[in-house]
Structure 1
Amino acid sequence: MNHFDTLVGQQLETMDQLLFLQSEIERCQEIEQELEKLQEKTKLNFLREEILSMKLQLKEIQQTFETQTAEIIRTYQATVS
């Protein structure tokens, strides 16, 4: 079960990264709305690039999370069998 516990720990760290990045994206989207109201085009373009970059990072982390989930399931099934 030690390997299983290690995998679960790694997945919990990945979950923390996911949650943090999602909250950052939401925060940036709120700022984006404010910049649109203020018509700050230069800052708005920079922020949109940052949001896009974070969304790409989020997608990569989500894929890692899915891979970890599959590995955890395989490891658990191997220890139970």
Structure 2
Amino acid sequence: MERFDLLVSEQLKIMDKLLYLQSEIERCKEIEKQLLILQDDAQLGPVQKEIETMKKELAEIQQLFEKQTEAVIKSYQRENIETVS
């Protein structure tokens, strides 16, 4: 069960990163919206670039999370098989 617990712990850390990035993207989108209203093109570009960078990072973390989910499931299944045998 040790490996399973370790995998779950790692997955929780990744979930925290996902939630943080999602909130940061939302925050930047609000800034982007305000800059569009103010027609501040000088500051709009860097904010939009930051949003795109965070979206790419979010997609990478989501893929990692999915792989970890598969590893958690396999670990759990293996440990249950070993326990039953």
Same fold (TM over 0.5): yes
Correspondence for 1:57 = 57
Correspondence for 2:36 = 36
CA RMSD, aligned part only?
A: 0.3
Identity of aligned residues (%): 52
> Which consecutive residues of structure 1, in runs of 5 or more, have no partner in the other structure?
none
Taking structure 1 as the reference length, the TM-score comes to: 0.99
2:20 matches 1:4: no
How far residue 68 of structure 1 moved from its aligned partner, in angstroms, is 0.2
> Which consecutive residues of structure 2, in runs of 5 or more, have no partner in the other structure?
none
Taking structure 2 as the reference length, the TM-score comes to: 0.94
Looking at structure 2, the residues matched to 17 and 24 of structure 1 have their Cα atoms a distance apart, in angstroms, of 10
Q: Which runs of 4+ in 1 moved over 3 A?
A: none
Q: How many residue pairs align between the two structures? A: 81
Looking at structure 2, the residues matched to 49 and 75 of structure 1 have their Cα atoms a distance apart, in angstroms, of 39
Correspondence for 2:73 = 73
Is the radius of gyration larger for structure 1 or structure 2?
2
How far residue 42 of structure 1 moved from its aligned partner, in angstroms, is 1.3
What are the superposed Cα offsets for residues 24-74 of structure 1, whole Å, 9 maximum, x if unpaired?
000000000000010110110110000000000000000000000000000
